[in-house]
Amino acid sequence: MRLPVIRGFAELIDKEGPEKIEAGIEVLEHCSEIRGLKDEELEVVGELLSNLFGALEVSKDIASGTAKTEALNNFMKRVQGSIDT
């Protein structure tokens, strides 16, 4: 996951709504099921999906009143915490 990418997607959600991100997730999930993709290509799809889902989470925190920077930092702390355990 890359914080700048998540931030960019969260800004898109703020401007356009979550529907575009959700549509992108749907497309990428379908792509991940295509036979014949190389491992490297699947890694890219997975990374994009992680960033899109992360942006949705950050966007929800921002909508509930959390400051943008704090929402991003809180999300990355949760991710780091799940990796460390």
Q: What is the pLDDT of residues 27-46, one digit of tens each?
A: 999 999 999 999 999 999 99
Residue boundaries of the structural domains of the chain: 3-61
Q: pTM of the predicted model, to two decimals?
A: 0.88
DSSP string across the chain? --HHHHHHHHHHHHHH-THHHHHHHHHHHHHHT-TT--HHHHHHHHHHHHHHHHHHHHHHHHHTT--HHHHHHHHHHHHHHHHH-
Q: What is the mean pLDDT of the chain?
A: 93
